[in-house]
Structure 1
Amino acid sequence: MCVGSCLGTSLITCLEMKIIGKLLLLVLSIGILYLGLSQINWSRIFEVDEKQEKLEKRLGKLVLDDLESSMSLIKNDSINRIVDSIFHPLLAKNGISRKGYKVLVLQDAQVNAFALPDKQIVLTTIINFLDSANYVSAILAHELAHCEKKHVMKSLITKFGLDLLLSGSGASNMTNFLTGQAFSRNLEREADEQAVVYLNKAKVNPHSLTHVMELFDVYLTGDLDLTWASTHPSPSDRKEYIEEKIGEIDLSMSFNSPIQQATWKRFKELVKAYDSEEDQD
């Protein structure tokens, strides 16, 4: 009786071991298969990245052309060089390639800044509204974050659908969306928080972004057309989570202005003189 019982128990144990062994082999096989598949560059195989890059370049040109049909680009080498000198430290200190990035200045009454497809960032007379190059750097850092995080294309695809974007129609609708409406609150917050990191690494005081929010909070109810503030979450809300983000990071040992004060003063004079010349024409 004992022998039969023991033999039965052994057979059950043997069967269980075989089942467990097969399960382990199956799990191992799945793991190896997953590891192998993860090493394959599926984006390259299906040319997803290349096609999206072509689409983004095409949309970038369409939107910029539409923008220029109603507003005037400032074509002044001195002004553009100073804008680049404010922007480039954000790229260099954060390990971001300059390739493809352009900052454009539009002569427009709206106090605004926005990102377009194909790594294009646009500033309007928001320059005249601000008191420091640090503040311009803070706004550029926010728009840079939108570009680096692919927020522009994500939002366009969500809003208009891929079919419409591929057709290339509705450029004016895309322009109005990018210049006059905010991204989702989550994307705006992500851009603000990333801007804090960019500023800190570029040795520009990240509290500059907070100060911009304070300025907008004061003037938002005034007569100025603060499009950049009115189409974003409220400045007071943004100020709160920006300060939280600043508190989470190790701040740089020293902060500097991206350009000298004399250059900033000259910059504002150049923009003001350009506006006056264009108005006379």
Structure 2
Amino acid sequence: MFQNQTFTSRYFDGVSAVPEEGTVLVHGQTIDFSSAETAHKLNVSQFAEFTLTHKGCKLVLRPDESKESPVLEIICSKSDAKQFESLWIQSKKNQSHAHAFFYSIREMNPIVLGGLSIVIVAIIGFFYFKGLELVTNLIPVSMDKSLGESVQMKMDAQFQECNTKATDRFFSEALKKIVPKGSPHQFKVSVIGSTIPNAFALSNGKIYFFSGLLNDAKSQEEVIGVLAHEVAHIEKRHHMRNLVKAGGTSLAISLVVGPGLGNMEFLETFTEIGSTILVLKFSRDFETEADVTSIEYLRNQNLSPSGLLTFFKRMQELEKESMESEDNPPDANAKDDEVVTKSLTDFLSTHPATEERMKTLASLIESGKKGTIKKVVSDKTWKDVQSVCLDFKNSDSK
């Protein structure tokens, strides 16, 4: 590799801060260092570390933290430094199979190595998060109930329900048709007096409907479609799965970044952002799964699945109206309502875009059996359902 070439070099003995100036001559795996006062014969494999420098390369004899290690600096061109590195790597590869594997990776092209690293991390990440799904199966459903009950206590203390006999009858009949047989959950629906056209579910089977959704609904099947969606969230254990994945994501990032970040605040921020993005993605996946599952529930009872699609069409119209009115300053009452709306519906940012969900639902409805439009309750009872909480809201606004 080096035929009778000598290179200017400096040797630090690990004791004195003043280096010995001299030259090196390479014979196979042996490096001969000579100076005016001393001579050292060193084997390439003896050096624990090799580093390329702007003047050539540097070889560290041993990784000893207790005292300074002897260091040999060789002044040479970049091409010669690369040859020194290849010689050093080859000597390390000959020591053991583990060294051969590790130093073969070091020899790889940085671009190829980077691409390979991304692929390996992606594969590990895929199986890691798939494993988290299996972890959820080991958690008993009783934990879902406990989790939901703790949230329900806060909800019931903060908001006033305005259920009526009509709403109790409607949702009771609807749940009998939607909930799959053998479900381990006990479902119950409560209505909250609010103009927000929305609904959400807790992991213990408690479902909350905002009266605005009932008041503005165009048909029974629209509300039934939303109810089926919320039942699907509970049956698919989305609350617990999201909790497990969120915890798993935080753990994985913490293991990669490592403890003891010190003043490296940007890494902590990166960890938080990474966790947030992934958790939001999980929520979007769950929303899509709930949409698909709700269609299955409705078709199993030969009910029309188009109600949920109708609901999203109305939501899309409301979104457009909201965007158009953003520049108009709200009055005091509207502003208060806006604050309540925001505090209760921030979680909607985790949902897929309305347009995206409508396309998915339209495709599912088109590809399967249509089902029939069935009335769960009589027109009179439905009219009572749609007028629920109106008195409550009127008195609340005075």
TM-score above 0.5, yes or no: yes
- Tell me how far apart the structure 2 counterparts of residues 255 and 65 of structure 1 sit (CA, whole Å): 36
Summarize the alignment of residues 22-33 of structure 1 with structure 2, pairs less than 5 Å apart: none
Does 1:198 find its partner at 2:297? yes
Give 1:279 deviation, angstroms: 5.6
Q: In the alignment, is the contact (CA less than 8 A) between 1:102 and 1:119 conserved in 2?
A: yes
2:222 alignment partner AA: Y
Q: Against the structure 1 CA distance between its residues 158 and 98, is the aligned structure 2 distance closer, same or farther, given a 3 Å change threshold?
A: closer
269-278 or 212-221, which moves further after superposition? Answer: 269-278
Q: Aligned to 1:135, which of 222, 244, 262?
A: 222
Does 1:87 find its partner at 2:148? no
More helix by share: 1
Q: Against the structure 1 CA distance between its residues 218 and 159, is the aligned structure 2 distance closer, same or farther, given a 3 Å change threshold?
A: same
2:228 alignment partner AA: A
- Tell me how far apart the structure 2 counterparts of residues 259 and 183 of structure 1 sit (CA, whole Å): 36
Q: Which runs of 5 or more structure 2 residues have no equivalent in the other structure?
A: 1-136, 250-275, 323-337
SS of 1:184's partner is: helix
Q: Against the structure 1 CA distance between its residues 76 and 195, is the aligned structure 2 distance closer, same or farther, given a 3 Å change threshold?
A: same
Q: Aligned to 1:250, which of 366, 369, 377?
A: 369
Structure 2 residue aligned with 1:215: 314
TM-score (norm 1): 0.65
SS of 1:105's partner is: strand
2:235 alignment partner AA: E
- Tell me how far apart the structure 1 counterparts of residues 367 and 313 of structure 2 sit (CA, whole Å): 21
Q: Against the structure 1 CA distance between its residues 229 and 56, is the aligned structure 2 distance closer, same or farther, given a 3 Å change threshold?
A: closer
More strand by share: 2
- Tell me how far apart the structure 1 counterparts of residues 306 and 377 of structure 2 sit (CA, whole Å): 17
TM-score (norm 2): 0.47
How large is the Cα RMSD of the aligned pairs? 3.1
- Tell me how far apart the structure 1 counterparts of residues 281 and 397 of structure 2 sit (CA, whole Å): 30
Kindly provide the CA deviation profile for residues 18-54 of structure 1, in whole angstroms up to 9, marking residues without a partner as x. xxxxxxxxxxxxxxxxxxxxxxxxxxxxxx76x6333
The total of aligned residue pairs comes to 213
Structure 1 residue aligned with 2:387: 269
Does 1:55 find its partner at 2:143? yes
Does 1:185 find its partner at 2:290? no
Q: Against the structure 1 CA distance between its residues 161 and 102, is the aligned structure 2 distance closer, same or farther, given a 3 Å change threshold?
A: farther
Does 1:158 find its partner at 2:158? no
185-194 or 79-88, which moves further after superposition? Answer: 79-88
Structure 2 residue aligned with 1:113: 199
Q: If you compute each CA radius of gyration, which structure gives the higher value, 1 or 2?
A: 2
| Greater RCO (CA < 8 Å, at least 6 residues apart) | 1
